[in-house]
Every structure is written in C-alpha cells, then in structure tokens.
Amino acid sequence: MTIIITAFERSPDGGQGLARDTRVRWALEEVGQPYEVRLLSFQAMKEPAHLALHPFGQIPTYEEGELALFETGAIVFHLAERHAGLFPADADARARAITWMFAALNTVEPPILDLSIAKFVEGDKPWSQDRLPLVMDRIRNRLRPLATRLGDADWLDGAFSAGDLMMVSVLLRLRPSGLLDEFPALAAYVARGEARPAYKRAFAAQLAVNAPDTQADVHAARR
C-alpha cells in the first residue's frame, strides 16, 4: 500500500527542515517505509479536498489505503506501532517512549511555538520586546529539567525511540534562538538525532523540495 504524506509546496523556512513533514519523513525513514509526497500551496491547504483529510487545513497528513491521519503525534505513533524501529519490544519501555512523545508535544513544544509567534506574528506589536524574555524563560524552564533528566545518556530512555524522534524534532526549532546552546547536553542530543542516517535522508528529501534553486526551477517550469 503506497503511503502518501502532504507537505508545503514551499516551506516558509526555505528548507531548514522545521516544517512538520520532516518528522514524519524521519519516522518513515527509521522504519524503512517508502512514501510519496503531495505538495500543497497555502491556498490548496484550505480547500475542501485537503480539509477532508485535515480539519484544520494544515500539513502534514498521512494516507495509507483507506486510512487517513493528521497530527504528527498520531502519525508517528501509528508508524511506530505497525513497524519495527521506533518502539522498544518491552511493554513498559514502550509506554515510557509514548510518554516522551507526549512530553515533547504537550509540554516542550508549546512554549517553543510561543517563541515563533512572539517573533514572527507579534514582532511588530509595541509590547513584543517586553514579552520576549518571559517567553524565553518559559522555554528555559522546560529545557533545564529535560537536560537534567537526559544527564549524560545518549537518548531519553535507553535506545533511540519515537520519544527521541519527537523530542529532537521539537528542540530543533530552537537552534536560531541560541537557547539550545545554553544547554550543551541538549545541543549534543539534537546533533545525535540529526546524525542518524534516517534523519539525514528525511532532511535531504525536504530540502530537495525547498532549496532555493529547486524553487527557481519550479517557478521557471510554471512560466
């Protein structure tokens, strides 16, 4: 059964791998499943055909035969359940890996997203500069205990799992802010994630769509 995911036709990050299709591509690469990608413009994401797959009109989505999923947490969870490579065999270790997936999405990602909103959406508001340090401190309040828990281990709970895939994906977004470098153990943790061959393949695949010269070719072809 062919797996089809959706991604931005042109990611706002220009190919830094921060759009959320990258974490789904990464999971697919870790479990060795081939996939196809349907690229969408911002307009197409809000049209009925895509809204039938994703009620909020976002990317990524995941289709596999009759099954259609949205939310990266659900998609990565599905892949980890169906294929070897992202969940440990031991039931308790698997439950802990799931816990880390939720921690990444529910506890660590929200203040990180808040920083993006503060910078890129609210950056021109008169109160924005005053708010920024508060938002950054809320992120530090998540990174500090996370670094403590990781300690000098390679991964959060034994072997690499879907929990690490999600946590690294969430933390990656912090790199331009410099906050990650305040916690060298976490910076090294993210670098370990990025060094995985599966991540490299996922990153290269999204870059091939979003790299500036690829876009020049796409636009030339449309003219």
% helix, strand, coil for the chain, step of 5: 60, 10, 30
Q: How far is the CB of 43 from ligand GSH (least distance, A)?
A: 11
Longest dimension (CA), the chain: 56
Residue at shortest CB range from ligand GSH: 58
* Tokens describing residue 66: 């009759």
Per CB under 6 A, the segment of 54-62, 135-143, 152-160, 173-181 that binds ligand GSH is 54-62
Out of 59, 146, 166, 171, the only residue in the binding site for ligand GSH (CB under 6 A) is 59
Interface with ligand GSH, residue 25, by CB under 6 A: no
CA distances from 185 to 36, 113, 149, 179 (A): 35, 21, 10, 12
Rg of the chain, C-alpha, whole Å: 18
Q: How far is the CB of 29 from ligand GSH (least distance, A)?
A: 18
Interface with ligand GSH, residue 210, by CB under 6 A: no
Interface with ligand GSH, residue 71, by CB under 6 A: yes
Residues 105/166, Cβ–Cβ less than 8 Å: yes
Binding site for ligand GSH (CB under 6 A): 19-20, 57-59, 71-72
